[in-house]
Amino acid sequence: MANDEILLDVKGLKTQFALEEGTVRAVDGVDFTVKRGKTLCVVGESGCGKSVTARAILGIVPSPGKVVDGQMLFYKEDENGSVRPIDLATLRPNGQEIRSIRGAEISMVFQEPMTSFSPVYKIGHQIREPILIHQQVSKAEAREIAIDMLRRCGLPRPERVFDQYPWELSGGMRQRAMIARALVCRPSLLIADEPTTALDVTTETQILELMKELQDELGMAILFITHDLGVVAEVAEEVIVMYLGKVVERADVISLFYEAKHPYTQALLRSIPTISKERRHRLDTIEGMVPDPYNVPSGCPFHPRCPAFMPGICDVIEPPIYALEKGHLARCHLYNEELVGNVMDEPASS
C-alpha cells in the first residue's frame, strides 16, 4: 500500500487497566491501518476493547487505563501539503500537541450525545467552541460556520437550533448536532463509537446516509465502532473483528461477509437476522459468555465457546495471526496446516 494512502497506522497497541482485582489487558497488541477517505469498522461484543482502542487514539482512555506499548502513527498534513507521522502514543494526554489534533484533525461522535454535550450550554456555543480553538476566526464568523454545518447535517432551521439547549432536541436531531460539532473543523479522521445504537431504525438509516454524504464531501476517513454487523454491511470498506482485546480477523467487507475465516466471526454472522430466514427460525446465539477479563482462558481465548475447538491445541497454544489470500487475516489454528494435519492423523480413541 502506498504510504500516502495511510492516515493512521496502529502497531502493537496495548492498553491496560491496573485494578485491585488484577490487570485488565483491554487492548492487547492491536494492529490496523486506516486509509485516507475510507471507512474501517471495528466489530465485537461488549468488552472486546473496541471503544478503548478509539479512546487511546485520542488520548482519552479513562483512568486508571494507560497505553503501555505500541505506536499510533498519524500522518498529518501541514499547511505546505507535506505529510509527517506523529506517534499519538508518545503524546501527553492533555498536552498541547494532542489538544491541537483532537477536535480538529481527529474528532469523535459518541453513542449518546447527552454524555458529550453539556446540558447547560446552548448547542451553538458548543459547536462554535472547537472552531474558536482551532481556527483564526471571529465569533461572528464561527457562528456562520457552525450554522452552515448544522444545515449540512440536515437540521431544519439551523439558526434556531443554534440557540437551543441539547435537551430541547429529539435523539436523532441531537445526534445530527453532535455530528455537526465533530465535523465543523473538517477532520481528516472521524471516530464514530456506536453512533446509531440508541436510535430507531429509520433515524439510524438517515444518520448513516448523512455520514456517508459528509465523508464524500469532506474526504475524511471514518473509524466506525459497532457491535452490529448490519451497520458494518452499510458503511464499511474494511473490517477488523476484535475478541478480548485482540484482532481475530481482518478483511475487506465483501470477504468478511462471504468468506469469514474465524469461528468467532462466523458465529457473529449466524446471529444476524435476515429476511430470508423463516419467521419462526430462532436466531443462533454465540454459546457461552465473554470470559471474565481477569481470567482470560489459556491458549485461544475463544476456545470455551468455539464450535471448532481442538483439544490439546486450542486450549494450550495461543494462535498467531495467519495471512490468508487477498490481505485476509485470521487468528486461528485452523489455518495452520501442520497442526490441523496432526489432529486429523490422531487415531480416534476407543
Tell me the closest approach of the beta carbon of residue 311 to ligand SF4, in angstroms: 10
Are 180 and 155 in contact by the 8 Å Cβ rule? The answer is yes
**Cα 46 off chain centre by:** 12
List CB contacts of 128: < 8 A, sequence separation 6 or more: 139, 142, 143, 145, 146
**Least distance to ligand SF4 from the beta carbon of 262, Å?**
6
Q: What is the CB neighbour count within 10 angstroms for residue 111?
A: 18
**3-class secondary-structure state, position 253:** helix
Going across the sheet that includes 6-19, the strands are 22-35, 6-19, 65-77, 83-87
Residue 90: closest CA among 123, 110, 60, 68: 68
Binding site for ligand SF4 (CB under 6 A): 263, 300, 302-303, 306, 308-310, 314, 319, 332-334
Query: In whole angstroms, how close is the CB of 312 to ligand SF4 at the nearest point?
Result: 11
| Distance between CA atoms of residues 342 and 87, nearest Å | 43
Task: Give the span between the Cα atoms of 62 and 87, in whole angstroms.
Answer: 20
CA distance 233 to 86: 31
Phi, psi values for residue 277, rounded to 5°: -70, 145
Nearer to ligand SF4, 58 or 330 (CB): 330
Identify which of residues 233 and 317 has a Cβ nearer to ligand SF4 in the complex: 317
Q: Least separation, in Å, of the C-beta of 342 and ligand SF4?
A: 14
- Measured from the CB atom, is 116 or 336 closer to ligand SF4? 336
Residue 246 makes CB contacts below 8 A (sequence gap 6+) with: 28, 29, 30, 49, 301, 331
Q: Whose grid coordinates read 482470560?
A: 296
Residue 320 C-beta: closest distance to ligand SF4, Å: 10
